[in-house]
Chains A and B, each alone.
Chain A
Amino acid sequence: MSTMTSSTTSGTHSAASLPTLDAAETLRYSRHLLLDEVGIEGQRRIKNARVLLIGAGGLGSPTALYLAAAGVGTLGLVDFDVVDATNLHRQILHGTTDVGRSKIDSARDRIHSVNPHVHLEAFDTRFDSANALEILRDFDIVVDGTDNFATRYLTNDAAVLLGKPNAFGCIFRFEGQASVFGAPDGPCYRCLFRDPPPAGLVPNCAEAGVLGVLPGLVGTIQAIETLKLILGIGDSLVGRLLLIETLGMNFRSITVRRDPTCPSCGDPAFGGGSIRSLDDRADDYAEATCGVAKSTVESSAAAIRDITAVQLAERISRGDDFDLIDVREPAEWEIARIEGARLVPLATVRQASESWDRAREVVLFCKAGVRSMNAAHQLVESGFTRVTNVLGGITSWTNDVDPSLRRY
């Protein structure tokens, strides 16, 4: 277990060079100033801090709101997305009237209302390997609040290359993980999970659901870790992965050690540290977890046929002979279904298909096309010769064929 000393970010500025607090700020932060561990000097360190938040979504909402309220002088915020109605049950940075606005615009208004002393540097763009280093370079700490593996590996590698600590959090259904990666002598995300899973193997929140309050809990932990790094107080989560399980309400932390062979932060003397630039692992940063997995579609083009929802509708009305299989979960089936489809959730496809006719055409769909592509791979591997995947899944079907279906 590591103890973060004040050297990480706070020690680089002598007290004399820190910005001062005016009367309004002194009043606003009075409950911080009363804490011996913060005090006036600590609050000035918070004001001097530059924190970059990747993502203004579930995790980015509480981190942005609390770090703004706490008086972080400069908050950077990167997000390319637009507020959607399905965001509102957890993304408390955005309100009902913000649906359709860019998340950056919505966040700017909200952060300004929480604390006008905060300077917001907004990046209304996708955080990618072309801009990651340029954006992150001017910040002290990065807070990983993204929703996909590609951006998480990118954030990790960029943070390690630039020597910036990463207050990490992630969520799934009722569970979360939090840590601080990339601190001096601490492990990074790749020390724990060397490589990302292939597209489609691990469902994302859009497919599997998430308890709305959960990112509030995990994001708040990220915000606390960020303040601890700024202030150089307490025992940070460097070297520990906090496992949060909210149904049983159990918290547990496990030790994560720095791996000298880690491709990101490892030591070349031990075969590590092979990632010298963001060009070295470009495949890991390819957007593949949301919507249609492009790389998967390309690599399987030979064995799996893709059709659009409109083409599926034409084939159904023509009376083509095939089995239409819905690989979503029962709860999704309850919300919306395509007439004539049979429900076989992804996890059960391999077993269920053992009794199917391998020469018969199977047309697969899910919500957005990723899980069905995964199922298609499994069927091809098991010897099915006529496997078809519906691009964009029932979401495209609802958009392009039957708008009467409920969206989710």
Chain B
Amino acid sequence: MIFLAVRYLLARRRQTILTLLGIFFGTAAYIAISGFMLGFRGYFVNQLVNNNAHVHIQPREDFLTDHSLDLEFFGKSFDHAFWDPAPSGRKDSAIVEDPQAWYRRLAADPRVLAFSPQLTAAVIFSNGKATAPATIIGCDPLQQMKVTTIADYIVEGSFTDLAAGGNRVVLGDELRKRLGVRLLQNVMVASATNVPIPFKVVGIFRTGSRFADQGAYGALADIQAVNRTPNQVNEIAVRLEDYLQSAPIASTWSSLGQEKVESWDQLNANIFEVFRLQDAIRYVSIGAILVVAAFGIYNVLNMTVMQKRKDIAILRSLGYQSRDIIVLFFSQGVILGFSGALLGAIFGYLFSRYMQTIPFAGGPMGGRGPGGTLIISYDPKIYIQAVSLALLSAIFASLLPARAAGKLTPIEIIRAGAE
């Protein structure tokens, strides 16, 4: 019956092409939009997962509430105690209280790939008359390279040069521009409580993120000295064997000490909410296109069944069964759906290739793309989903007319023709 179905479709070319276009555009749009959105998302998640630690162990947060001081003053907590003014502020710590315990724990955990103690400090950089407040991360460079991909973004110098110690610094490109400094020159670094200390610029990094590129890295001991907090760290960045286990591991570790332990996805939960919203919009909009296309198929097939009633009578009189008639009309819908989906997938792919050439320099997406262009996802799942959705809509649209055709008996048609 496929042979006859193809002949039917070829005989009414214009109608066939118009119906096919609906599925074609639905599929192509799904692939192009999904490729763009997921390309951006993949890049973004990649940045989150690879550029930064999977788990962050930071000082505990303890904010004062209306009843935080009840115990200290009255020996028990009261719901009806009213403070005027109510206590406010925080009584947490700015440092990881017992980092050595964490180091032992992390070193013994087989799920941990690497960890890097850090001291993040707010400092003021100056180079002659140019000054810039910035955040500097003190770390063990070799450990930091195992935990983040910062070394990949070095555009001048070397990140490992920090390991030699002796007041060396790697600057973000934005910060370097603001200071007007070059590689191997000195900049002055001062904390709020210390006199400026000269640091030698041994590297420049450019991540593409303006915020990140306004920061700097130094050796942990040097930054502890600048900050006058020897042996103290305010974060331990951890990289895991499996980043997908970050959230459950972070939850387990939270119960082991006072520190705040958060995974990369917990830290960016709001971003994932946006992604979910994007997905919903993507599915609804493409669903709407495919529903319209499915109605096109439904209408065309319904009309064809009406027009081909005589053919149904002939075929039944020649020994073709009800199921053959169902196949005859159902396969037309499936052929339309499959052809439209296939052509749409090819066009969607080609359009994605074109989008990949669109310049998008300067933004986060342009940072690492070849020549600073849009990053497009070619995940096979997108194509499988697009083709499956198109086929499913075509199948649903074809079922009713095909079943109606299968139910027609030859004598009904002959009698109707005779009237």
**Do A and B truly interact?**
no
* Residues of A participating in the B interface, judged by any CB pair closer than 8 Å: none
* Residues of B participating in the A interface, judged by any CB pair closer than 8 Å: none
